[in-house]
Amino acid sequence: MPKVLFAEELLALVTDRNRAETIAGDLVEEAGRRGPLWFAGALGGVALALFFAAFGAARARMLGLLAAGLAVSALLYVAVRVSGVLLGLQPPAVHGVALIEASPAALLYLAASLAAANFLTGLVLGRARARSGPSAVMPLALFWAAVGLVALCADLVAGQPTWYCTLVYLGGIPSFYIAPLLAGAALAARPTGARSEPLSTRSV
Amino acid sequence: MRGGPNLGEFEQIVLLAILRLGKEAYGVAIRDEIAQCTGRRTAPGALYTTLDRLEQKGFVASRLGEPTPERGGRAKRYYSVSAAGAAAVERAQRSYQRLLEGLHILKKKHA
């Protein structure tokens, strides 16, 4: 995926598409002088800044969206797991087995279930996005990022970090929660019609 | 507060940069102008949130330009300062002037 498209899709989750397009263009133009590392940092910074600006302006709405997102996510995860059991693709539960001792097939199924449930959550929340402002998926994505960060810090502070927990926090959460969530939302929010008209005006 | 909402320091800087650039004021140019005039590299996120806020307050207006290849085919968003924005900058600068009156700190520096 070209970086301008990636930037536009990510920014479209935190602001309206017209604005996402022009900011993505600015970042790509400046990245020509400053390089890909600057681009990655600037893109993340802009996305977070726009999200937190919107969050500050409507905290109650964002917390409501987070609660709705968690509910949708839990429902879809249960649906994916139950479907797997009914289709005979997995055992009813992996209880009693520590992750480290689980078979590669069980781990793979768990990871795929999580990724699928989060992708579907992204699709559902992406469809329900507001006309402007952050997508309903953003509070949930940042919630998972915060969960991973807090859990990692708690392990480090307690002096008991284990390699598999660290792997889950740093690799599992971004790969199986956040990335599928954002991918689903970006897919759901993609415009189906023609691109916006240039030379349009906005306000005053 | 006299005659309208107050402006923060960075909001004033952004409005002044837009005024200096005239019709060529878009994101990258505004950041470059601020860096050139103040020696301060602003984070892109800070600039775009400030521009959004100024637009909501009615101090700037924006329009879309033509897409260009070096921007991956994306258009520029050009900003211009509205009459209310210009009045707000003037008000803020007059406040600074009044605060400076009688202090002579600028004269001492240049002496």
Residue A169 or residue A84, greater confidence: A169
Question: What six digits make up the tokens of A24?
Answer: 């993505």
User: Does any CB of chain B come closer than 8 Å to the CB of residue A110?
Assistant: no
What pLDDT is stored for residue A200 in this prediction? 40
Q: What's the burial of A13, exposed, middle or buried (CB within 10 Å: 0-12/13-18/19+)? A: buried
**Is the C-alpha dihedral spanning A147, A151, A157, A158 positive or negative?**
positive
Task: Return the biggest CA–CA distance within chain B.
Answer: 54
Instruction: Please tell me what DSSP assigns to residue A194.
Output: P
Query: Going by C-beta distance under 8 Å and a sequence separation of 6 or more, which residues neighbour residue B73?
Result: A4, A25, B67
- Whether B48 and A2 lie within 8 Å, measured CB to CB: no
B72: left (phi > 0), else alpha (psi -120 to 50), else beta?
Answer: left
**Nearest-by-CA chain A residue for B84:** A204
User: Does any CB of chain B come closer than 8 Å to the CB of residue A9?
Assistant: no
Out of A78-82, A125-129, A198-202, which region has the weakest mean confidence (pLDDT)?
A198-202
**Is the C-alpha dihedral spanning A100, A101, A105, A110 positive or negative?**
negative
* Cα(A38)–Cα(A8) distance, integer angstroms: 16
Chain A contacts of B55, Cβ < 8 Å? Answer: 202-203
- Whether B71 and A202 lie within 8 Å, measured CB to CB: no
**Nearest-by-CA chain A residue for B76:** A22
What pLDDT is stored for residue A129 in this prediction? 58
Q: What is the tens place of the pLDDT at every residue in A1-26?
A: 688 899 999 998 899 889 999 999 99
What integer is the mean pLDDT of B14-31? 96
pLDDT > 60? residue A95: no
Q: Give B61→chain A minimum CA distance, Å.
A: 6
Phi and psi at residue B49, to the nearest 5° = -70, -35
What integer is the mean pLDDT of A43-70? 90
Q: What is the ipTM of this complex?
A: 0.87
Predicted TM-score (pTM) of the model is 0.79
* Cα(A41)–Cα(A76) distance, integer angstroms: 33
**Contact assessment for residue B79 and residue B51, using Cβ atoms and an 8 Å cutoff:** yes
What pLDDT is stored for residue A192 in this prediction? 63
Average pLDDT value over all residues in chain A: 83
Q: Which among A120, A139, A127, A142 has a CA at the least distance from the CA of A76?
A: A120
* Residue from A6, A26, A39 to probe the interface with B (highest B Cβ count within 10 Å): A26
Q: What is the tens place of the pLDDT at every residue in B34-69?
A: 999 999 889 999 999 999 999 999 999 999 998 888
- Whether B76 and A26 lie within 8 Å, measured CB to CB: yes
**Nearest-by-CA chain B residue for A2:** B72
* Cα(B1)–Cα(A198) distance, integer angstroms: 39
What integer is the mean pLDDT of A60-70? 88
Q: Give B52→chain A minimum CA distance, Å.
A: 9
User: In sequence order, what are the beta bridge partners of B67?
Assistant: B75
